[in-house]
Amino acid sequence: MFTNQVKTHARSLCGVAGHEWILTTRTGRIDMKGRTAIMGIVNVTPDSFSDGGKYLNSESAIAHGIKLAEEGADLIDIGGESTRPGAIPVSVYEEMARILPVVRGLRRALSIPLSVDTCKAEVARAALAEGADLVNDISALRFDAEMVTLIAKEKTPVILMHMQGKPRDMQVQPRYSDVVEEVKSFLVDRARFAVQRGVPQDRIMIDPGIGFGKNLCHNLALLRALPVFASLGFPVVVGASRKSFLGKILELGLEDRREGSVAAAVAAALGGASMVRVHDVKESWRALRVADAIRFGVMPAE
Protein backbone atom coordinates (compact mmCIF):
# COMPACT_ATOMS: atom_id res chain seq x y z
CA MET A 1 0.00 0.00 0.00
CA PHE A 2 2.74 2.47 0.97
CA THR A 3 4.68 1.85 -2.26
CA ASN A 4 1.54 2.43 -4.34
CA GLN A 5 0.91 5.68 -2.46
CA VAL A 6 4.40 7.02 -3.11
CA LYS A 7 4.23 6.07 -6.77
CA THR A 8 0.99 8.06 -7.07
CA HIS A 9 2.65 10.93 -5.22
CA ALA A 10 5.54 10.87 -7.66
CA ARG A 11 3.28 10.98 -10.68
CA SER A 12 1.31 13.88 -9.22
CA LEU A 13 4.53 15.86 -8.70
CA CYS A 14 6.29 15.33 -11.98
CA GLY A 15 4.39 13.08 -14.32
CA VAL A 16 7.06 10.34 -14.41
CA ALA A 17 7.47 8.32 -11.22
CA GLY A 18 10.88 8.88 -9.71
CA HIS A 19 12.42 10.42 -12.84
CA GLU A 20 11.96 14.18 -12.57
CA TRP A 21 12.03 16.09 -9.32
CA ILE A 22 12.49 19.52 -7.81
CA LEU A 23 13.61 19.37 -4.18
CA THR A 24 12.92 22.47 -2.10
CA THR A 25 15.41 23.46 0.61
CA ARG A 26 15.75 26.52 2.81
CA THR A 27 18.44 27.98 0.58
CA GLY A 28 16.94 27.14 -2.77
CA ARG A 29 15.63 24.45 -5.07
CA ILE A 30 17.61 21.51 -6.41
CA ASP A 31 16.35 21.02 -9.93
CA MET A 32 16.33 17.39 -11.06
CA LYS A 33 13.69 17.83 -13.74
CA GLY A 34 15.20 16.89 -17.06
CA ARG A 35 18.72 16.79 -15.60
CA THR A 36 20.87 14.87 -13.12
CA ALA A 37 21.90 16.90 -10.08
CA ILE A 38 25.47 16.74 -8.79
CA MET A 39 26.43 16.56 -5.13
CA GLY A 40 30.05 17.57 -4.60
CA ILE A 41 31.95 15.89 -1.75
CA VAL A 42 33.95 17.71 0.93
CA ASN A 43 35.44 15.32 3.49
CA VAL A 44 36.76 17.12 6.56
CA THR A 45 38.43 14.00 7.93
CA PRO A 46 41.92 12.58 8.35
CA ASP A 47 40.96 9.08 7.18
CA SER A 48 38.33 9.09 4.42
CA PHE A 49 39.16 6.49 1.79
CA SER A 50 39.69 8.92 -1.09
CA ASP A 51 40.83 12.30 0.22
CA GLY A 52 41.29 11.80 3.96
CA GLY A 53 43.43 14.58 5.45
CA LYS A 54 43.46 16.66 2.28
CA TYR A 55 40.77 19.06 3.50
CA LEU A 56 41.02 18.61 7.27
CA ASN A 57 41.97 22.28 7.59
CA SER A 58 38.73 24.29 7.46
CA GLU A 59 40.18 26.93 5.12
CA SER A 60 41.20 24.32 2.55
CA ALA A 61 37.83 22.56 2.89
CA ILE A 62 35.96 25.82 2.30
CA ALA A 63 38.13 26.62 -0.72
CA HIS A 64 37.51 23.14 -2.11
CA GLY A 65 33.75 23.47 -1.65
CA ILE A 66 33.77 26.79 -3.49
CA LYS A 67 35.77 25.19 -6.31
CA LEU A 68 33.25 22.35 -6.61
CA ALA A 69 30.40 24.85 -6.81
CA GLU A 70 32.23 26.76 -9.55
CA GLU A 71 32.67 23.51 -11.46
CA GLY A 72 28.93 22.86 -11.46
CA ALA A 73 27.91 21.17 -8.20
CA ASP A 74 24.25 21.70 -7.33
CA LEU A 75 24.95 21.18 -3.65
CA ILE A 76 27.93 20.43 -1.41
CA ASP A 77 27.97 17.47 1.00
CA ILE A 78 30.15 18.05 4.07
CA GLY A 79 31.24 15.13 6.25
CA GLY A 80 33.34 15.00 9.40
CA GLU A 81 33.39 11.26 10.10
CA SER A 82 34.91 8.73 7.75
CA THR A 83 32.60 5.96 6.57
CA ARG A 84 35.28 3.97 4.75
CA PRO A 85 35.38 0.21 5.47
CA GLY A 86 36.86 -0.36 8.91
CA ALA A 87 36.43 3.25 10.02
CA ILE A 88 36.27 3.98 13.75
CA PRO A 89 33.47 6.35 14.89
CA VAL A 90 34.37 9.78 16.25
CA SER A 91 32.67 11.71 19.03
CA VAL A 92 29.90 14.22 18.48
CA TYR A 93 32.21 16.99 19.60
CA GLU A 94 35.03 16.02 17.25
CA GLU A 95 32.65 15.74 14.32
CA MET A 96 31.15 19.15 15.04
CA ALA A 97 34.59 20.74 15.47
CA ARG A 98 35.52 19.49 12.01
CA ILE A 99 32.45 20.44 10.03
CA LEU A 100 30.80 23.47 11.63
CA PRO A 101 33.47 26.00 10.57
CA VAL A 102 33.21 24.59 7.04
CA VAL A 103 29.41 24.78 6.95
CA ARG A 104 29.60 28.33 8.28
CA GLY A 105 32.22 29.39 5.75
CA LEU A 106 30.50 27.80 2.78
CA ARG A 107 27.14 29.26 3.77
CA ARG A 108 28.70 32.72 3.67
CA ALA A 109 30.37 32.07 0.33
CA LEU A 110 27.76 30.08 -1.60
CA SER A 111 24.10 30.40 -2.50
CA ILE A 112 23.61 26.70 -3.33
CA PRO A 113 22.28 24.19 -0.77
CA LEU A 114 24.61 22.48 1.68
CA SER A 115 24.25 18.91 2.93
CA VAL A 116 25.67 17.48 6.15
CA ASP A 117 26.80 13.85 5.99
CA THR A 118 26.08 12.55 9.49
CA CYS A 119 24.01 10.02 11.40
CA LYS A 120 24.13 11.98 14.69
CA ALA A 121 21.15 14.23 15.49
CA GLU A 122 23.21 16.62 17.60
CA VAL A 123 25.65 17.17 14.75
CA ALA A 124 22.83 17.61 12.24
CA ARG A 125 21.05 20.10 14.49
CA ALA A 126 24.18 22.22 14.87
CA ALA A 127 24.92 22.10 11.15
CA LEU A 128 21.37 23.14 10.26
CA ALA A 129 21.71 26.06 12.66
CA GLU A 130 24.87 27.14 10.81
CA GLY A 131 23.15 27.04 7.42
CA ALA A 132 23.03 23.44 6.19
CA ASP A 133 19.92 22.53 4.22
CA LEU A 134 19.84 18.75 3.97
CA VAL A 135 20.87 15.71 6.02
CA ASN A 136 22.61 12.77 4.34
CA ASP A 137 22.19 9.89 6.82
CA ILE A 138 24.00 6.67 5.90
CA SER A 139 22.04 4.85 8.61
CA ALA A 140 18.63 5.83 7.19
CA LEU A 141 17.65 7.25 10.62
CA ARG A 142 18.58 4.05 12.50
CA PHE A 143 21.67 4.99 14.53
CA ASP A 144 20.23 7.95 16.46
CA ALA A 145 16.61 7.85 17.62
CA GLU A 146 16.47 11.65 17.75
CA MET A 147 17.33 12.13 14.09
CA VAL A 148 13.86 11.44 12.71
CA THR A 149 12.37 13.85 15.27
CA LEU A 150 14.77 16.57 14.15
CA ILE A 151 14.11 15.98 10.46
CA ALA A 152 10.34 16.01 10.99
CA LYS A 153 10.44 19.17 13.09
CA GLU A 154 12.69 21.09 10.70
CA LYS A 155 11.07 19.60 7.56
CA THR A 156 14.60 19.16 6.30
CA PRO A 157 15.24 17.07 3.19
CA VAL A 158 16.93 13.80 4.05
CA ILE A 159 18.76 11.08 2.16
CA LEU A 160 18.04 7.58 3.46
CA MET A 161 20.82 5.14 2.54
CA HIS A 162 21.04 1.38 2.73
CA MET A 163 23.98 -0.15 4.57
CA GLN A 164 24.51 -3.71 5.76
CA GLY A 165 26.24 -3.54 9.14
CA LYS A 166 28.29 -0.49 10.12
CA PRO A 167 31.38 1.06 8.51
CA ARG A 168 33.62 -0.85 10.91
CA ASP A 169 32.40 -4.27 9.70
CA MET A 170 30.25 -3.68 6.60
CA GLN A 171 32.75 -5.19 4.15
CA VAL A 172 33.34 -8.37 6.16
CA GLN A 173 31.74 -10.89 3.81
CA PRO A 174 28.47 -9.05 2.99
CA ARG A 175 25.73 -11.51 2.02
CA TYR A 176 22.29 -11.27 0.45
CA SER A 177 19.76 -13.76 -0.86
CA ASP A 178 18.58 -11.15 -3.37
CA VAL A 179 20.46 -7.86 -3.05
CA VAL A 180 18.04 -5.83 -5.17
CA GLU A 181 14.92 -7.04 -3.38
CA GLU A 182 16.48 -6.70 0.08
CA VAL A 183 17.79 -3.19 -0.52
CA LYS A 184 14.50 -2.13 -2.08
CA SER A 185 12.47 -3.48 0.86
CA PHE A 186 14.79 -1.78 3.34
CA LEU A 187 14.45 1.62 1.65
CA VAL A 188 10.67 1.36 1.40
CA ASP A 189 10.50 0.44 5.11
CA ARG A 190 12.75 3.33 6.13
CA ALA A 191 10.78 5.79 4.02
CA ARG A 192 7.58 4.51 5.62
CA PHE A 193 9.14 4.92 9.07
CA ALA A 194 10.12 8.52 8.30
CA VAL A 195 6.71 9.48 6.90
CA GLN A 196 4.86 7.91 9.83
CA ARG A 197 6.94 10.06 12.18
CA GLY A 198 6.20 13.28 10.41
CA VAL A 199 8.86 13.67 7.73
CA PRO A 200 7.22 15.19 4.63
CA GLN A 201 7.20 12.63 1.85
CA ASP A 202 8.46 15.16 -0.69
CA ARG A 203 11.58 15.74 1.44
CA ILE A 204 12.83 12.14 1.23
CA MET A 205 15.51 10.82 -1.13
CA ILE A 206 16.80 7.24 -1.23
CA ASP A 207 20.28 5.81 -1.83
CA PRO A 208 20.99 2.09 -2.46
CA GLY A 209 24.36 2.50 -0.73
CA ILE A 210 26.91 1.46 -3.33
CA GLY A 211 29.96 0.10 -1.50
CA PHE A 212 28.29 0.02 1.91
CA GLY A 213 28.14 -3.64 2.82
CA LYS A 214 28.29 -4.85 -0.78
CA ASN A 215 30.82 -6.70 -2.88
CA LEU A 216 31.55 -6.13 -6.56
CA CYS A 217 28.65 -8.27 -7.79
CA HIS A 218 26.21 -6.62 -5.36
CA ASN A 219 27.23 -3.14 -6.51
CA LEU A 220 26.86 -4.00 -10.18
CA ALA A 221 23.49 -5.65 -9.59
CA LEU A 222 22.21 -2.54 -7.81
CA LEU A 223 23.45 -0.23 -10.55
CA ARG A 224 21.73 -2.38 -13.18
CA ALA A 225 18.54 -2.31 -11.11
CA LEU A 226 18.35 1.46 -10.66
CA PRO A 227 15.08 1.64 -12.64
CA VAL A 228 13.55 -0.49 -9.86
CA PHE A 229 14.58 2.07 -7.25
CA ALA A 230 13.56 5.03 -9.41
CA SER A 231 10.05 3.55 -9.64
CA LEU A 232 9.54 3.66 -5.85
CA GLY A 233 8.44 7.29 -5.87
CA PHE A 234 11.50 9.06 -4.45
CA PRO A 235 14.51 10.72 -6.06
CA VAL A 236 17.41 8.26 -6.14
CA VAL A 237 20.92 9.30 -5.10
CA VAL A 238 23.93 7.22 -6.20
CA GLY A 239 27.43 7.55 -4.78
CA ALA A 240 29.89 5.36 -6.66
CA SER A 241 32.74 7.84 -6.97
CA ARG A 242 36.25 6.37 -6.63
CA LYS A 243 34.99 3.31 -4.75
CA SER A 244 36.92 0.07 -4.55
CA PHE A 245 34.66 -1.89 -6.90
CA LEU A 246 35.81 0.43 -9.69
CA GLY A 247 39.41 -0.38 -8.83
CA LYS A 248 38.62 -4.08 -9.03
CA ILE A 249 37.06 -3.70 -12.47
CA LEU A 250 39.89 -1.53 -13.80
CA GLU A 251 42.68 -3.18 -11.82
CA LEU A 252 43.83 0.31 -10.88
CA GLY A 253 44.58 2.13 -7.64
CA LEU A 254 42.60 4.91 -6.03
CA GLU A 255 44.41 7.70 -7.88
CA ASP A 256 43.39 6.23 -11.27
CA ARG A 257 39.64 5.81 -10.78
CA ARG A 258 38.48 9.13 -12.21
CA GLU A 259 37.33 7.81 -15.58
CA GLY A 260 35.67 4.82 -13.95
CA SER A 261 33.87 7.13 -11.54
CA VAL A 262 32.54 9.27 -14.37
CA ALA A 263 31.40 6.15 -16.23
CA ALA A 264 29.53 4.97 -13.12
CA ALA A 265 27.88 8.38 -12.75
CA VAL A 266 26.70 8.28 -16.36
CA ALA A 267 25.41 4.73 -15.94
CA ALA A 268 23.56 5.81 -12.80
CA ALA A 269 21.95 8.73 -14.57
CA LEU A 270 20.85 6.61 -17.52
CA GLY A 271 19.50 4.06 -15.06
CA GLY A 272 17.22 6.60 -13.40
CA ALA A 273 19.26 8.31 -10.67
CA SER A 274 18.20 11.88 -9.93
CA MET A 275 21.45 12.84 -8.20
CA VAL A 276 25.01 11.55 -8.14
CA ARG A 277 27.50 12.14 -5.33
CA VAL A 278 30.96 12.71 -6.79
CA HIS A 279 34.50 13.86 -6.06
CA ASP A 280 35.26 14.97 -9.64
CA VAL A 281 32.59 17.55 -10.34
CA LYS A 282 33.93 19.17 -13.53
CA GLU A 283 34.38 15.89 -15.38
CA SER A 284 31.07 14.52 -14.11
CA TRP A 285 29.20 17.70 -15.06
CA ARG A 286 30.42 17.49 -18.64
CA ALA A 287 29.66 13.79 -19.00
CA LEU A 288 26.23 14.12 -17.41
CA ARG A 289 25.17 16.91 -19.73
CA VAL A 290 25.61 14.46 -22.60
CA ALA A 291 23.93 11.64 -20.67
CA ASP A 292 21.00 13.90 -19.82
CA ALA A 293 20.59 14.94 -23.45
CA ILE A 294 20.35 11.24 -24.33
CA ARG A 295 18.10 10.40 -21.39
CA PHE A 296 15.70 13.34 -21.52
CA GLY A 297 16.13 14.68 -25.04
CA VAL A 298 17.00 18.07 -23.59
CA MET A 299 19.33 20.19 -25.69
CA PRO A 300 21.03 23.47 -24.73
CA ALA A 301 19.38 26.62 -26.04
CA GLU A 302 21.02 27.91 -29.21
CATH number of 109's domain: 3.20.20.20
Candidate from 35-49, 239-253, 258-272 with smallest mean pLDDT? 35-49
Average pLDDT of the segment spanning 81-99: 88
Query: Is the Cα torsion angle 144, 223, 231, 266 positive or negative in sign?
Result: positive
Q: What is the pLDDT of residue 15?
A: 33
**Domain span at 35:** 2-295
Distances in Å between the Cα of 6 and the Cα atoms of 24, 36, 147, 155, 230 are 18, 21, 22, 18, 11
Q: What are the tens digits of pLDDT across the range 133-169?
A: 999 999 999 999 999 999 999 999 999 999 998 877 7
- Selected catalytic residue, list 277, 282, 289, 295: 277
The confidence band for 13, taking pLDDT boundaries of 50, 70 and 90, is very low
pLDDT tens-digit readout, 32-63? 999 999 999 999 987 544 554 565 689 999 99
76 inside domain: yes
Q: Around Cβ 302, how many Cβ atoms within 10 Å?
A: 3
Residue 234 within a domain: yes
Q: What pLDDT score was predicted for residue 54?
A: 61
Reply yes or no on whether the pLDDT at 87 is more than 90.
no
pLDDT value of residue 11: 39
Does the pLDDT at position 7 exceed 60? no
Taking all residues of the chain, what is their mean pLDDT, rounded to a whole number? 90
Whether residue 59 lies inside any domain: the answer is yes
Find the catalytic residue in 84, 243, 257, 295.
243
Overall domain count for the chain: 1
pLDDT of residue 56: 66
Is 190 one of the catalytic residues? Answer: no
Whether pLDDT at 14 is above 60: no
Question: What pLDDT does 141 receive?
Answer: 98
| pLDDT at residue number 55 | 59
54 falls within a domain: yes
pLDDT (tens digit per residue) in 162-210: 999 887 777 888 999 999 999 999 999 999 999 999 999 999 999 999 9
pLDDT tens readout for residues 64-84? 999 999 999 999 999 999 887
Tell which wins on pLDDT, 159 or 9.
159
pLDDT band, residue 216 (cuts 50/70/90): very high
Is the pLDDT at 275 greater than 80? The verdict is yes
Q: Is 243 known to be catalytic?
A: yes
pLDDT reported for residue 52: 45
Does residue 300 belong to any structural domain of this protein? Answer: no
Q: Is residue 287 part of a domain?
A: yes
Within a domain: residue 94? yes
Structural domain contains residue 301: no
